[in-house]
Amino acid sequence: MIKLIGILIIIVGFIIKLDTIAVVVVAGIATGLVSEMSFNDIVTTLGKAFVENRYMSLFIISLPAIGILERYGLREKAADLISKIKSATFGRLTSIYLIIRTLASMFSVRIGGHVQFIRPLILPMSEGAAKSRYGKLSEEDIQAIRGLNGAVENYGNFFGQNFFMASGGVLLIVGVMKELNYPVEALDIAKASLPVAIIIMVVGTIQFLYYDKKFDKKYKIKSKKNDK
């Protein structure tokens, strides 16, 4: 049980909001020491893990570029562009992005991301479409739009990625199932994932279009004025 002390350190560190990297490193060192590893072996293991998984932090490279784009009006231009398209609505726009994001994820084409794509582009366009159609929105509805924009990225990425046979999730599932003596191949996982991806595109589209109807009903006076 003492070898699980690293988990306890992480839980306590996160609860009292200490520096994340420091907590994880201390937890790793503590786990190694109670497991009777030498300090050199611990440092070597930590360094090896960092090098092998360094691609996980590559998205940080894109953050300065995104910040500059936002600073010089990307969000405003996106909102202004979509507001000029009279037929654009929040539900239609989000539904289209859901389909595109799911299909891209199914073929391991990385076009999305909350930080890289949703915040600087899709969210301003969604809010621009809603404000153009209804005028001023309540704070509750603005937050609902933001939450749904976060959800659409999760829908497309999570439910589409396992269709790609070489994705990490598929390989993990195959490896675990084979260890449990279940003869599963990557193709089997991909086939099972296809109907799930189709279902989320349908269900997600219904959800987003429902909010169009909800907003139309709530802002019906403003909507009629805009239509005129």
* Per-residue pLDDT reduced to its tens digit, 84-141: 777 789 999 999 999 999 999 998 887 878 877 888 889 988 998 898 889 889 999 9
CA atoms 157, 159, 164, 165: torsion sign = positive
Same domain? For 49 and 112 the reply is no
* Per-residue pLDDT reduced to its tens digit, 141-183: 999 999 999 999 999 999 999 999 888 788 888 888 888 888 8
Q: What is the pLDDT, as a whole number, of residue 223? A: 44
* Per-residue pLDDT reduced to its tens digit, 15-59: 888 877 788 888 888 888 888 888 888 888 877 776 655 555 555
CA distances to 140, 142, 146, 167, 185 from 81, rounded to whole Å, are 24, 19, 19, 35, 46
Same domain? For 31 and 74 the reply is no
Burial class (CB in 10 A: 0-12, 13-18, 19+), 222: middle
Same domain? For 148 and 186 the reply is yes
Q: Which residue segment(s) compose the domain that 12 sits in?
A: 2-58
Scan for tokens 């239509």, then name that residue: 227
Kindly state whether residue 225 falls inside one of the protein's structural domains. no
Separation between Cα atoms, residue 24 and residue 28, nearest integer Å: 6
Separation between Cα atoms, residue 171 and residue 47, nearest integer Å: 25
Kindly state whether residue 29 falls inside one of the protein's structural domains. yes
Domain count, the chain: 2
- Which of 58, 86, 102 terminates a domain? The answer is 58
